[in-house]
Amino acid sequence: MTVIYEDNHIIAVNKTCNEIVQGDKTGDTPLSETVKAYIKEKYNKPGEVFLGVTHRLDRPTSGVVLFARTSKALARLNAMFQSHEQIKKTYWAIVQGAPKMPEARLENWLIRNEKQNKSYIAKPGAKDAKLAILSYKTLVRGDNYTLLEINLETGRHHQIRCQLAAIGCPVKGDLKYGAKRSNPDGGICLHARQIEFVHPVSKEEICITAPVPDDALWRALTTQIS
């Protein structure tokens, strides 16, 4: 676990593709418990440590995850994430090939299949379908892969993975959405790069950036960003 920001009310960590944010059926220790243990030891906290989960990342996704250290911060951050106001998340993705348009705004209706834990493109207005909107732009185009920057306008299940696959550019390593092969670490090349928000207590503008994974392809592409 790598802490990239902390104060009295919030703490942010750079999640790896092997970590889960909250407990699930695997029984693996979630990040929330690891962060609690870190706070308890660092600040010599007696008793139970409070930690609130404000948002989640899919297990195979890496990047910044923000937790609340106080109930006041948790309530206010939850409201921000639900309304998409005063908060902005930026993702980087390495995708197969290259999109036809170097930048675009994608609008799709998505249906989530709970049993498969997968989302599908649906016709507009289809039953149970939800509108998903994102914008992307090309940062670096390589021989076989392209590095994209993505900004979400909605927060749908597997939205980035599904929408990029629909334009013929699945995220590298994402077998569920059409990638040719898996990544050695079992993750996918989708990284929650940055989160910008108004601090829930101090009201300051906060910007937290998560370093990309220590991987040869990530290094090769990101070093070309002008």
Average confidence (pLDDT) over 150-169: 96
Q: Looking at residue 73, which CATH number applies to its domain?
A: 3.30.2350.10
Asked whether 160 and 134 are in contact (CB, 8 A), the reply is: yes
Closest to 85 in 3D by CA, of 5, 9, 198:
198
Q: What domain count does the chain have?
A: 1
Asked whether 43 and 58 are in contact (CB, 8 A), the reply is: no
pLDDT confidence tier of residue 27, bands split at 50, 70 and 90: confident
The range of the structural domain enclosing residue 101 comes to 2-222
pLDDT at 209 over 90: yes
Please confirm, yes or no, whether 58 is among the known catalytic residues.
yes
Predicted pLDDT at 25: 73
How much of the chain exceeds pLDDT 90, in percent?
85
Query: Which range, of 26-40, 106-120, 191-205, averages the lowest pLDDT?
Result: 26-40
Kindly report the number of other CB atoms within 10 A of residue 21's CB atom: 21
pLDDT tens readout for residues 106-140: 999 999 999 999 999 999 989 999 999 999 999 99
Q: Rounded CA gap, 170 and 177, in Å? A: 6
pLDDT at 68 over 80: yes
pLDDT at 206 over 90: yes
Catalytic residue among 28, 58, 174, 185: 58
Q: Rounded CA gap, 87 and 225, in Å? A: 25
Asked whether 40 and 46 are in contact (CB, 8 A), the reply is: no
Assessment of whether the complete model's pTM goes beyond 0.85:
yes
